[in-house]
Structure 1
Amino acid sequence: MRKYLEIASVHFRTQLIWRADTVFHILFTVTRIIFAFILWSAIFEGKEIISGFSFDSMLSYYIISSFLAQIELSGGISDEISVRIRNGTFSKYMVLPMNMEGYFLAMEAGVVSFHILFDLLAAGIWVALFRINFVFAADAVSIVCALLLIFLGLLFMAQLNYYLGLLTLRYEEISTFLMIKDNLVSLVTGTIIPLVLLPEGLTAFMRFFPFYYVTYLPSMLLTGRCGEEAVRGVILLAAWCIFMELINRWTYQKYRLKYDGVGI
């Protein structure tokens, strides 16, 4: 455990080098919320409630979901693995005296730990500056389950991107997979619009898949909604994380012998 904490610490400190990236990361968080504010101000004009949301609760949902979307930074895992495999330097990770997936998860933990502080600051400034009547859950069970879902959601997305990176061992070029993933994730996680606005049949279908629980459900729980789904959501997302762990181990063991490295 100590070596993984050290990896997380190193990558946390590494983020201090890229100060411009941190500034733009904060700006993207604020920009996403500004767009939501402008859009829903127009939609709510002359209306009090839309699909059970008031204007304040809708903005609260977008602030939370935007925050969660911005701290999900695991796309760098698939990019790093893919580049290393294609240029022949993936051996750098294969010879490490630790679990390779654990290394990338620790790396992601260090990066997220750094950015989470600034994203919280950005969201707080937005709420205070525009005097939003922020809606937040009062139920302790919902809050605890939401926090568990946030953790499991970040873990699942890191596992998914690790898996996509490993597919380079089989297909060499995975840009199509990454493009599909990037284009779909924002929609199916409820970052673009709350899934409650979609047809009920489609929403019910999406409950069988992990993306429903990554951003949408914790955002709803933290705004005091969907409390009846809290415990079930934690169990289902935990099961998906276990499934992804098994898939990742199988994929690496099956395809690692196909790697023809030229150095580290």
Structure 2
Amino acid sequence: MSKYWQVSKTHMKAQLAWRADVIFNMIFTISRILFAYLLWGTVFQQGGTVGMFTFHGMLSYYIVSSFLSQLEMSDGISGEIHARIRNGTFSRYMVIPVGIEKYFMAMELGVVLFYLIFDLIAAAVWTVIFRIWFAFTTDPEILLSAVIMAILGMVFMVQLNFFLGLLTLKYQGIDTFLMIKSNLTALVTGTIIPLALFPEGVVNVMRILPFYYVTYLPSMLLTGMIPEEAFRGVVIILCWCLVMQIIIRRTWKKYRRKYDGVGI
């Protein structure tokens, strides 16, 4: 376990070399909240509610969902694996004394821990600036369920991006897979529009997919909404993590023989 913690610490420290990325990450978080403020401020001009949201409830949701979505930074894993396999340097991960998938999970942990404090600051600042009556659950069980779900959601996204990267062992390019994943996650994670505003039939379909539990449901739970889905959500995303792990192992076992890289 200590060797993986060393990997996390190394990547945490490595972020200091890219300080501009920290600034842009905070700007992106701020711009998303600002966009939500301007958009929903217009919608809620006459007061009332939209779906199950009040104006401040909607902004609370966007602040939490923006915070969680900015913490999920595993997209680079698939690109890293793809590039390493194509140029023959994926061998470096095969010779180090750590599990390859666990290495990338440890790497993601280091990045998340580094950006955690900055994303919290950005969210807190805009809560004060916009004078939002921030809605947050006070139920410890719901809070715990939301945190566990958010962690499992990030684990699933690491697994998914790791799996997509491994597809390079079979396919020359994985751009199509990455495009489908990006478009699907942008919609189904609820970072653009809260899924509660979609027709019930559409939401029921989305509940089958793991992306529903990555950002949207944890955000809803943390802002005190749909608490009845908490336990079921944890179970479903956990099952998806287990299924994804089986798929990864079978894919790696089947296609690793096709890799003929050189160098490290």
1:186 deviation in Å? 1.3
Following superposition, the deviation at residue 47 of structure 1 comes to 3.0
Q: Which position in structure 2 is the counterpart of 1:55? A: 55
Alignment partner, residue 232 of structure 1: 232
Matches within 5 A, 1:1-264: 1-264=1-264
State the secondary structure of the residue aligned to 1:18: helix
Structure 2: stretches of 5+ with no match in the other structure: none
- 1:220-260, CA deviations, whole angstroms, 9 ceiling, x for partnerless residues? 00111111110110011011101111111111111011111
Q: Deviations over 1:144-189 (max 9, x none)?
A: 1000011001000000000000000010200111111112211111
Give aligned-pair identity as a percent. Answer: 57
AA at the equivalent of 2:210: P
Q: CA deviation at 1:196?
A: 0.6
Measure, in 2, the Cα distance between the counterparts of 1:171 and 1:126.
Answer: 44
Q: CA deviation at 1:52?
A: 1.5
CA distance in 2, matches of 1:225, 1:132: 17
User: Which consecutive segments of 4 or more residues in structure 1 shift more than 3 A?
Assistant: none
Task: Give distance in 1, aligned partners of 2:113 and 2:160.
Answer: 19
> One-letter code of the match for 2:40?
W
Contact map agreement 2:52 2:196 (CA 8 A) in 1: no
Q: What is the distance in 2 between the residues matched to 1:49 and 1:251?
A: 47
The secondary structure found in structure 2 opposite 1:171 is coil
Structure 2 Cα separation of the partners of residues 181 and 52 of structure 1? 28
The separation in 2 between residues aligned to 1:149 and 1:190, in whole angstroms, is 15
Structure-1 separation of matches of 2:176 and 2:11: 28
Mapped to 2, the partners of 1:43 and 1:252 lie a distance apart of 49
- Compute the TM-score of the two structures, normalised by the length of structure 1: 0.99
Deviation, structure 1 residue 45: 1.3
- Counterpart CA distance in 2 for 1:9 and 1:220 is 31
Report deviation, 1:191.
0.6
Contact 2:82 2:166 in 1 (8 A): yes
Alpha-carbon distance between aligned partners in 2 of 1:215 and 1:239, rounded to the nearest angstrom: 17
TM-score computed with the length of structure 2 as normaliser:
0.99
Gaps in structure 1 of 5+ consecutive residues: none
- RMSD of Structure 2 on Structure 1 (CA): 0.7
Give per-residue Cα distances to partners, 1:118-165, cap 9 Å, x unaligned: 001100011112211101112111111000011001000000000000
Query: In 2, distance between residues paired with 1:96 and 1:256?
Result: 16
CA shift digits 1:15-62 (9 cap, x unpaired): 011001110010000001000100001111113111021000000000
Q: Distance in 2 between matches of 1:248 and 1:96?
A: 19
* Residue type at the aligned position of 1:38: L
